[in-house]
């Protein structure tokens, strides 16, 4: 190799790898399978703390558990609760939340194997639009977003006895909202549990593990329908109606890298349990000098590991910032793989990032073919919770993509250094089945400079969707909501105003009927409003298509060495009205050729992303159908109608051409620049609207379309009616 990344003391590996087994389509003996995994379970560091964990959770409403990566928290603690009678068949369940879908599904699969049940039996998972659970399910893995949606339908989360919040350190927007809501629900459940206890005659037997404060259910009865507890007394609460038999809600917060004290304080000084011990050691190496180009270094490091260690010494997991990075390194690796010396084992790059369709994401879990080594290229989607069988080497670029929001400037998406907590989680992905290695593409001195934790998403994101969710869940005054980290008042007020302008809130700040409808959508409220407007405009089909198309970062490939060819190919889809209709043209053409691979290559179409668009569209269609919307209403060739529907949601994202040739945004009076990738780049149209403002080196409007200024005034007469009338004089 001409160049290489230098790590001090790196040495070849000796031990062979233990790969996961496949069932080969044969009938599965679940019991035998669980029996085989029992020894592995008992060898995990967490096993020795089993009793202490159960006792702590029995004795306290909330417990914070910190244990090293790989110690067994995620897979074992839910099982310990299941084994210790924290659920009642057919009545109460344990929920375990994960920030990401891929973690929820893969962990559920593993835990079902360990419990000895088919997936969807005693152990299942539920993620958005996919429910693999049944009436028998007692352990349900889900995303935190999913549990939030459940609260809309069931404000007391009646079916759950315990909620386990895993990987709470990530502090995603949804985790933070869930924390506040669960705290509230826990308080309410404690209150109705007291009502139930007061209704039980003194002679009733107390539950075995609860110092007389728990389950008064009859195991054979159906509490939900009979509504009568052991005492035979119906318990009715003013706010929640029939709450007979409803007991306390237990909360368990877990992570390997958690500011446990802060969580404990938030949950009224909840006890903290530290579980010591990692299962296998991971040797960590730093580069001797800072790396100028982390993509180049990541490619070289992967290649170096491949060439210098035997291929049966484990697969490689490389952490990069985003999809674009992954696709670049994938291209470099494919080229290198084609030029490996004779006799060298093959190299198979496997990407995984959020926008990748689920079926493709799960491919990273498949064992590599014989004489082949997998190099998994991942964003931080693979940073927590996941055990990818076969991984022994982790390459950490030290960066991730961070979304930011400023009401004046809009959104930003910047590549930034990770936190120490992220670095430790990344390291933790090696050493789960045997000793592992982590190669950090930064110096030890740079590591020392990293922040301890990342800034919680709630402090840096647009909050309209959050506020809508809170309102829909019955939180009247969001400014007083018990946030663990309070977002700025300015950001909250901005969100309230936006929802008011979208007619989701009324003059008193109460949720409107439309707001309730919008909250059903797992989308930013602006998109939900577009879909709403498209119903009366008769163009649901086109509106849903375009909303789905906007869910991916890029629809085209623009390789650095083929920029002109790529631009010329894109011309075939171009609409003079701008990007929204250009994207629609692309989707229609893609569907006509059934997503043909060669066609996509010739037209520089990002096939992977368009397939994701089709996935999203299918999900939205299903949701709309459930809400009674005809998803096939089409405006045919009168596409101006669709753009007008977009203005119903995006009237805030408009800009007018100024005499000096610049564009000035209508709501913030900022100078905005049309993004060079837009089909309107370099054109001068009097009025535009855009999907988002992104700050990179300057303020760029992305996904831009030309509109009539009058339409903007018609979409938001209260805001822009006068201003536009004056400007047109
Ligand atoms: N799908 C799997 N295939 C093989 N082994 C697995 C799998 N899932 C878990 N394991 C084994 O169980 C161990 C514990 O995993 P678990 O996810 O419970 O740990 P954890 O403490 O929650 O880690 P983290 O903090 O990284 O999420 C792993 O280190 C691995 O040895």
Alpha-carbon separation of residue 228 from 88, 156, 157, 658 (angstroms): 16, 18, 19, 70
Instruction: Indicate which residue's Cα is closest to atom 24 of ligand 1.
Output: 69
pLDDT at 129 over 80: no
Q: Same domain for 108 and 163? A: yes
Residue 617 lies in a domain: yes
Backbone angles phi, psi at 592, to 5 degrees: -60, -35
Q: At what angle do helices 173-199 and 144-153 cross, to 10 degrees?
A: 40
Q: Confirm or reject: Cβ of 433 under 6 Å from ligand 1.
A: yes
pLDDT confidence of residue 2:
37
What pLDDT band is residue 384 in, cutting at 50, 70 and 90? Answer: confident
- Cβ–Cβ under 8 Å, residues 616 and 626: no
| Confidence band of 673 (pLDDT split at 50, 70, 90) | very high
Q: How many CB atoms lie within 10 A of CB 611?
A: 18
237 located within any domain: no
Least-confidence region, from 9-18, 163-172, 629-638, 694-703:
9-18
How far apart are the CA of 165 and the centre of ligand 1, in A?
A: 16
Q: So what's the pLDDT on residue 110?
A: 96
Instruction: Mention every residue, 6+ apart, whose C-beta is less than 8 A from residue 183.
Output: 251, 266, 267, 482
> Where is the domain boundary, 599, 620, 646?
646
| Residues 655 and 688: beta-carbon distance below 8 Å | yes
* Co-location of 611 and 719 in the same domain: no
Q: Rounded to whole angstroms, how far apart are CA atoms 509 and 498?
A: 11
Q: Is the CB of 74 under 6 A from ligand 1?
A: yes
More confident residue, 356 or 382: 382
- CA–centroid distance, residue 313 to ligand 1 (Å): 19
Measure CA 572 to chain center: 34
pLDDT more than 90, % of the chain = 63
* Residue that wins the pLDDT comparison between 385 and 565: 565
| pLDDT higher at 401 or 727 | 401
Burial (Cβ within 10 Å: 0-12, 13-18, ≥19) of residue 441: buried
The count of other CB atoms within 10 Å of the CB of residue 95 is 22
Contact 410, 693 (CB under 8 A): yes
Question: Which has more pLDDT, 414 or 510?
Answer: 510
**Three-class SS of residue 70?**
coil
ipTM score above 0.85: yes
Angle between helices 173-199 and 464-472 (to 10 degrees): 10
pLDDT at site 693: 84
Instruction: Give the mutation target among 74, 111, 424, 435 for probing the ligand 1 site: most ligand atoms within 8 A of CB.
Output: 74
Nearest-atom index, ligand 1, CA of 255: 25
d(CA 583, CA 611): 14
In degrees rounded to 5, what are phi and psi of residue 694?
Answer: -125, 130
Q: What is the CATH number of the domain that holds 420?
A: 3.40.50.300
Whether residue 683 is contained in a domain is answered as: yes
Q: Is the CB of 69 under 6 A from ligand 1?
A: yes
pLDDT of 414 over the 90 cut: no
328 lines ligand 1 (CB under 6 A): no
- Same structural domain, 512 and 538: no
pLDDT of residue 4: 52
> Do 481 and 368 share a structural domain?
no
- Nearest ligand 1 atom to alpha carbon 110: 1
- The verdict on residue 409 lying in a domain is yes
The pLDDT value given to residue 223: 36
For residue 269, report the phi and psi dihedrals to the nearest 5 degrees.
Answer: 60, 45
- If you ran DSSP here, which 8-state letter would residue 26 be given? P
Q: Could you give the count of Cα atoms lying within 13 Å of 92 in the half-sphere of its Cβ?
A: 26
> For position 462, what pLDDT does the model report?
87
Q: Determine the angle formed by the axes of helices 579-592 and 540-549, rounding to 10 degrees.
A: 100
Least confident of 300-304, 558-562, 608-612: 558-562
8 Å CB contact between 109 and 23: no
- From 36, 43, 66, 75, give the residue whose CB has the most ligand 1 atoms within 8 Å, as the site to mutate: 75
For 497, the domain range is: 463-520
Cα of 282 from ligand 1 centre, angstroms: 15
Residue corresponding to tokens 């891929």: 102
72, 119, 435: residue to mutate for ligand 1 pocket, most atoms within 8 A of CB? 72
Query: Using a 6 Å cutoff on CB, does residue 188 contact ligand 1?
Result: no
Residues 623 and 489 in one domain: no
Q: Which pLDDT score, from 0 to 100, does residue 666 have?
A: 86
Instruction: Answer yes or no: is 18 within a domain.
Output: no
pLDDT in tens, 430-485: 988 899 999 999 999 999 999 998 889 999 888 999 999 999 988 889 999 999 99
Same-domain status, 99 and 161: yes
Is there a domain that residue 225 lies in? no
Residue 214 pLDDT class (50, 70, 90 cuts): very low
Nearest ligand 1 atom, CA 75: 18
Binding site membership of 522 for ligand 1 (Cβ less than 6 Å): no
Strand partners, 274: 66
Domain match, 508 and 530 both = no
Least confident of 366-375, 509-518, 719-728: 719-728
What is the per-residue pLDDT for 23?
42
Residues 506 and 633 in one domain: no
So what's the pLDDT on residue 228? Answer: 39
Between residues 133 and 357, the one the model is more confident about: 133
For ligand 1, whether the C-beta of 427 sits within 6 Å is no
The answer to pTM > 0.95 is no
Q: Using the predicted structure, report yes or no on whether residue 79 has a pLDDT greater than 70.
A: yes
Identify the band that residue 560 occupies on the pLDDT scale cut at 50, 70 and 90: low
Ligand 1 atom closest to the Cα of residue 431 is 29
Give the integer Cα–Cα distance in Å for 625 and 629.
Answer: 5
Task: Give the pLDDT score at 209.
Answer: 40
Beta carbons of 430 and 390 less than 8 angstroms apart: no
Of 505, 520, 535, the residue at which a domain comes to its end is 520
Do residues 454 and 473 both lie within one domain?
A: no
Q: Are residues 709 and 619 in the same domain?
A: no
Rounded Cα distance between 439 and 427, Å, is: 8
332 and 371 inside one domain: yes
Structure tokens at 215: 């389950």
How far is residue 98's CA from residue 595's CA, in Å, rounded to a whole number?
33
Using a CB cutoff of 8 Å and minimum separation of 24, what contacts does 83-89 make? 84/54, 84/58, 84/209, 85/208, 85/209, 86/57, 86/161, 86/162, 86/250, 87/138, 87/139, 87/161, 87/162, 88/161, 88/215, 88/217, 88/219, 89/136, 89/138, 89/219
In a domain, 212, yes or no: no
Q: What is the pLDDT of residue 239?
A: 83
Shortest CA distance to 284 belongs to which of 429, 454, 68? 429
* Close Cβ partners of 468 (under 8 Å, ≥ 6 residues apart): 499, 504, 511, 515, 518, 519, 525
Same domain, 349 and 265: no
- How many domains, the chain? 5
Residue 568: both structure tokens together: 């010329």
Question: Which protein residue's CA is at the shortest distance from atom 7 of ligand 1?
Answer: 387
Report the atom number in ligand 1 closest to the C-alpha of 46. Answer: 21
Q: Distance from the CA of 18 to the center of ligand 1, in angstroms?
A: 14
Q: Which residue has the higher pLDDT, 251 or 661?
A: 251
**pLDDT at site 323:** 86
Domain membership flag for residue 568 = yes
What is the DSSP annotation of 392-435?
EEEEE-SEEEEEEEETTTEEEEEEEE--HHHHHHHHTTSSSSS-
Task: Please check the confidence at residue 237 and state whether its pLDDT lies above 90.
Answer: no
Q: What is the pLDDT of residues 165-198, one digit of tens each?
A: 999 998 999 999 999 999 999 999 999 999 888 8
Residue 333 has pLDDT above 80, yes or no: yes
R_g over Cα of the chain: 27
Cα 559 from Cα 580, distance rounded (Å):
23
CA of 249 relative to ligand 1 center, distance in Å: 26
* Mean of per-residue pLDDT scores for the chain: 87
Question: What's the pLDDT score for residue 330?
Answer: 94
Cα(514) to ligand 1 centroid in Å equals: 44
């Amino acid at each position: 190799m001409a160049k290489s990344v230098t790590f001090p003391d790196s040495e070849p590996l000796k031990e062979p790898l233990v790969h996961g087994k496949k069932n080969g389509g044969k009938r599965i003996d679940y019991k035998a399978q669980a029996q085989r995994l029992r020894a592995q379970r008992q060898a995990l560091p967490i096993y020795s703390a089993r009793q202490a964990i159960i006792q702590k959770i029995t004795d306290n409403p909330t417990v914070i558990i910190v244990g090293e990566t790989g110690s067994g928290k995620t897979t074992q603690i839910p099982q310990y609760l299941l084994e210790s009678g924290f659920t009642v068949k057919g009545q109460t369940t344990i929920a375990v939340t994960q920030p990401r879908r891929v973690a929820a599904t893969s962990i559920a699969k593993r835990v079902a194997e360990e419990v000895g049940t088919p997936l969807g039996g005693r152990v299942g998972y539920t993620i958005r639009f996919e429910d693999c659970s049944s009436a028998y399910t007692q352990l349900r893995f889900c995303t935190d977003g999913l549990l939030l949606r459940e609260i809309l339908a069931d404000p007391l989360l009646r079916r759950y006895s315990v909620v386990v919040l895993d990987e709470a350190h990530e502090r995603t927007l949804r985790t933070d909202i869930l924390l506040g809501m669960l705290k509230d629900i826990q308080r309410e459940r404690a209150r109705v549990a007291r009502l139930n206890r007061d209704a039980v005659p003194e002679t009733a037997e107390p539950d075995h593990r609860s110092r007389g404060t728990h389950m008064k259910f009859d195991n054979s009865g159906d509490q939900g329908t009979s509504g009568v507890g052991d005492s035979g007394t119906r318990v009715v609460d003013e706010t929640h109606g029939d709450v007979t038999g409803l007991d306390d809600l237990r909360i368990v917060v877990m992570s390997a890298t958690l500011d446990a004290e802060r969580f404990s304080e938030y949950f009224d000084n909840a006890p903290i349990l530290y579980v010591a011990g990692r299962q296998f050691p991971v040797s960590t190496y730093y580069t001797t000098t800072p790396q100028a180009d982390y993509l180049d270094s990541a490619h070289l490091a992967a290649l170096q590991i491949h060439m210098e260690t035997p291929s049966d010494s484990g697969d490689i997991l490389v952490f990069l910032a985003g999809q674009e990075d992954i696709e670049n390194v994938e291209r470099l690796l494919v080229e290198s793989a084609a030029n490996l010396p004779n006799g060298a084992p093959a190299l198979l790059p496997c990407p995984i990032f959020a926008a990748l369709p689920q079926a493709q994401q799960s491919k990273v879990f498949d064992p590599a073919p014989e004489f082949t080594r997998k190099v998994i290229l991942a964003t931080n989607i693979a940073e927590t919770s996941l055990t990818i069988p076969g991984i022994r080497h982790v390459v950490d670029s030290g960066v991730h993509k961070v979304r930011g929001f400023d009401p004046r400037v809009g959104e930003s998406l910047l590549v930034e250094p990770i936190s120490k907590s992220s670095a430790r989680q990344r390291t933790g992905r090696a050493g789960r089945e045997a000793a592992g290695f982590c190669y950090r593409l930064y110096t030890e001195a740079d590591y020392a400079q990293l922040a301890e934790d990342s800034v919680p998403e709630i402090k840096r994101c647009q909050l309209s969707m959050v506020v809508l969710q809170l309102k829909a869940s019955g939180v009247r005054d969001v400014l007083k909501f018990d946030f663990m980290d309070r977002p700025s008042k300015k950001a909250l007020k901005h969100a309230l105003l936006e929802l008011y302008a979208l007619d989701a809130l009324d003059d008193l700040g109460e949720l409107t009927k439309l707001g309730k409808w919008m909250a059903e959508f797992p989308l930013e409220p602006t998109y939900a409003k577009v879909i709403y407007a498209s119903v009366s405009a008769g163009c649901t089909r086109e509106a849903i298509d375009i909303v789905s198309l906007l869910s991916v970062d890029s629809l085209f490939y623009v390789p650095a060495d083929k920029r002109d060819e790529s631009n010329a190919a894109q011309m075939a889809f171009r609409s003079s009205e701008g990007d929204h209709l250009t994207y629609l043209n692309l989707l229609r053409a893609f569907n006509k050729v059934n997503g043909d691979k060669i066609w996509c290559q010739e037209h520089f179409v990002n096939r992977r992303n368009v397939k994701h668009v089709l996935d999203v569209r299918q999900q939205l269609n299903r949701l709309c159908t459930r809400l009674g919307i005809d998803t096939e209403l089409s405006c045919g060739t009168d596409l101006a109608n669709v753009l007008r529907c977009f203005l119903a949601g995006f009237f805030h994202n408009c800009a007018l051409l100024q005499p000096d040739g610049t564009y000035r945004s209508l709501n913030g009076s900022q100078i905005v620049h049309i993004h060079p990738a837009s089909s309107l780049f370099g054109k001068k149209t009097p009025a535009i609207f855009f999907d988002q403002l992104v700050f990179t080196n300057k303020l760029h409007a992305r996904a831009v379309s030309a509109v009539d200024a009058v339409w903007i005034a018609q979409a938001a007469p209260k805001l822009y009616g006068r201003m536009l009338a004056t400007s047109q004089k």
